[in-house]
Amino acid sequence: MIKILVPYDFSEQAINALNFTSGLANKIENVHIEVLHVMEVPYVSNLGTMGGGEVIPEMENQVFFLELMEKRKKQIADLKEEHKDKKYSFEAKIQLGNAFKTISALIVDEEPDLVIMGSKGSSGVEEVLIGSNTEKVVRTAKCPVITVKSAIDPSTFKKIVFASDFKDDHEEMARRIKNLITLFDAEIYFVIVNTPADFETTRESIQRINMFARKYGFEGAKAEIYNSLSEETGIIEFAEDIDADMIAMATHGRTGFLHLITGSIAEDVVNHAKRPVWTLKVK
């Protein structure tokens, strides 16, 4: 059985992600969809001037929270009703806690084969210092993650772009990309983005792509070199130029100071691309 986790906050992006997931589940056999809605309990600190005190729910916030909880319970029940008697099995639940920590714990405990999340992106200081819950899941999840922003029908997918430098030998990544091609019944484009800061000849790049394709048995894969000022921009623009349906990438899952300094091309693409992005954390 293929288990797909869909973190769900009832936003337009989350609805798009769930519709994308159900559309995908209708294409293949033996799929279980699990929807998770995380609610954070509002707390405020009741501290005296000398310190001490205790953390208690603020009454107004508590009333609002209880009302919202009842609303969410009904919405979850409606989702279950909507998706019952489908080709796939379906479960939806509410958990209390921090959204990112709760989603991450569930990924570790239940080991889904795939996470599909909505994303609206972020910009400026928020993007640099904080990032969204979606970006954090992309950075840390052990399984592949697909991020979805708009309403898209996965049954129409024809082209997938796999962007890489093809310098590292990742057998696991090759296996996952093959599964992705099979899942969507799409053709694959292998692309290296050539930038002024990291220039190499087309011959070198094509040879490396072809070596990867031969080693892992990718038949009919298209090797492409794309020139751009940055890798992120080049990946997005190449996908736009060929009207690709999805971008696939590896992420190295850097955290803390290293992530702040070096950033992540995969997370930047997730943040700025308009089309779905598939990512897998590699060591």
DSSP 3-state assignment of 183? Answer: helix
Q: Of 6, 28, 2, nearest to 185 (Cα)?
A: 28
Token pair recorded at residue 166: 């093809």
Q: Residue 208 has what pLDDT?
A: 94
Q: Residue 44 has what pLDDT?
A: 54
Contact (Cβ atoms closer than 8 angstroms) between residue 170 and residue 250: yes
133-140 helix and 265-272 helix, angle to the nearest 10 degrees = 140
What is d(CA 48, CA 69) in angstroms, rounded to the nearest whole number?
31
Which residues contact residue 266 at a Cβ distance below 8 angstroms, ignoring those fewer than 6 apart? 138, 249, 250, 251, 277, 279
Task: Give residue 18's Cα distance to chain centre.
Answer: 13
Give the single-character DSSP code of 156.
G
Residue 92 host element (H or E): strand 89-96
The long-range contacts involving 81-89, CB below 8 angstroms and separated by at least 24 positions, are 83/22, 83/33, 86/22, 86/25, 86/26, 87/25, 87/26, 87/31, 88/22, 88/25, 88/26, 88/31, 88/32, 88/33, 89/31, 89/32, 89/33
Average confidence (pLDDT) over 258-279: 77
Q: Residue 4 has what pLDDT?
A: 97
Confidence of residue 47 (pLDDT cuts 50, 70, 90): very low
Greater confidence (3 vs 49) lies with 3
- Determine the straight-line distance between the first and last CA of the chain, rounded to whole angstroms: 26
Average confidence (pLDDT) over 155-184: 92
CB atoms within 10 A of CB 243: 9
Amino acid, res. 71 = K
CA dihedral 257, 126, 6, 20 (to 10 degrees): -120
Q: Of 151, 89, 107, nearest to 7 (Cα)?
A: 107
Amino acid, res. 18 = L
Confidence of residue 283 (pLDDT cuts 50, 70, 90): confident
Q: Of 178, 238, 179, nearest to 213 (Cα)?
A: 178
pTM equals: 0.87
Greater confidence (271 vs 21) lies with 21
Which domains are present in the chain? 2-43+64-140 (3.40.50.620), 149-281 (3.40.50.620)
Q: Residue 233 has what pLDDT?
A: 95
Query: Percent of the chain at pLDDT above 70?
Result: 85
Q: Residue 132 has what pLDDT?
A: 75
Range scoring the smallest mean pLDDT among 23-37, 151-165, 254-268? 254-268
Q: Residue 128 has what pLDDT?
A: 35
Per-residue pLDDT tens over the stretch 65-121: 888 899 999 999 999 999 999 999 999 999 999 999 999 999 999 999 999 999 875
Confidence of residue 124 (pLDDT cuts 50, 70, 90): very low
Given a cut of 90, whether residue 25 has pLDDT beyond it is: yes
Per-residue pLDDT tens over the stretch 216-263: 999 999 999 999 999 999 999 999 999 999 999 998 755 544 433 334
Contact (Cβ atoms closer than 8 angstroms) between residue 88 and residue 31: yes
What is d(CA 117, CA 1) in angstroms, rounded to the nearest whole number?
20
Token pair recorded at residue 19: 């519709």
- Strand order of the sheet with strand 2-7? 89-96, 31-39, 2-7, 114-118, 145-148, 277-281, 246-251, 159-163, 187-194, 222-227
Greater confidence (138 vs 161) lies with 161
Q: Residue 135 has what pLDDT?
A: 85
